[in-house]
Amino acid sequence: MADMIVIAVDGPAGSGKSSVCKGVARRLGLRYLDTGAMYRAVTWAVLQAGIDLTDSEAIAHAAANLVIVSGTDPSAPSITVDDVDVSGPIREDDVTAAVSAVSAVPQVRSGLVARQREEVARAVAAHQGIVVEGRDITSVVLPDADLKVFITASPEVRAQRRAAQDEDRGAGERDIEVTKAELISRDAKDSTRAVSPLTIAPDAIIVETSDLDLEQSIAAVCALAVP
C-alpha cells in the first residue's frame, strides 16, 4: 500500500530533493525525514562550540552528546538541537561551507545513520510510510527501501534553484556562476569522501528534473511509488 511505503531518495546539492520529497510525502500521506538537516544540525553545533573542523575526534565527541529531534510532518518539518530550534540557522552560509567536513567524520555518519533508521522504524511501527532524503539513503541507510530514487539536475539548473532558495530566505541575491562553482565543489567532496560517498545505487531510479517544474517532479516520483 502506498501509505506504508518507504521511499529512499538521494541526489546532489541543489537538485530539488527537499521540495520534491516534501511534496511526495504530502501527496501520499507519508512522513518525511531530511537527513541533510541532521548533518547541518551537527555542523551548527560544532561551529557554535568553536571546534576546529580538522579535529575529527572533537567533532565526533560533540556529535555523540547532542540531542537532535527531527519533526517528520512534511508540511512543517522541524529540527532542534538540545531543544534549540535550528531550522533557520542550519541554512546559513557558515554551516553550508562546513557541512561537508563534518559529514565526512565516520563517527558522525554512523551515529546519525542509526538515528535515521530509528525514525524509519517508528514510522513503520505506526503503520505509516516515510520519504527519507539525503546523500547515502539508497546505498547505506535504507538499502532495502521499497523504492529508491536518485533526483538530479544539471549544475546550471541546480545553481539557479539554490540561488532562488537563498533569496527566498532572505540571504540576498546570489551570483549564479559562484553558486554553480560551490555546488560542483560540494559534489566532489560528497562523491569522493571515504565514508558513505554520494553514489547512485544500482537499483535506484534516476529522475532528471532539469526540464521539469516542481509539480512535474513530484508527479514523476509519485508515479513510481503508485504505478
pLDDT tens for each residue of 141-191: 999 999 999 999 999 999 988 888 777 666 666 788 888 888 888 888 888
Domain enclosing residue 188, as ranges: 2-225
DSSP single-letter state for residue 4: G
The Cα 89–Cα 59 span in angstroms is 19
Give the pLDDT confidence score for residue 121 in this predicted structure: 96
Give the pLDDT confidence score for residue 196 in this predicted structure: 77
- Centre a 10 Å sphere on the Cβ of residue 57 and count the other Cβ atoms it contains: 10
Query: Can you give the CATH number for the domain in which 54 is found?
Result: 3.40.50.300
Domain count, the chain: 1
Q: What is the pLDDT of residues 33-63, one digit of tens each?
A: 999 999 999 999 999 999 999 999 999 999 9
Q: What is the mean pLDDT of residues 187-200?
A: 82
Which run of H or E residues covers position 199? Answer: none
Mean pLDDT score across all residues of the chain:
92
The Cα 145–Cα 202 span in angstroms is 13
Q: What is the pLDDT of residues 78-109, one digit of tens each?
A: 999 999 999 999 999 899 999 999 999 999 99
Sheet strands (E) in 87-152: 130-134, 147-152
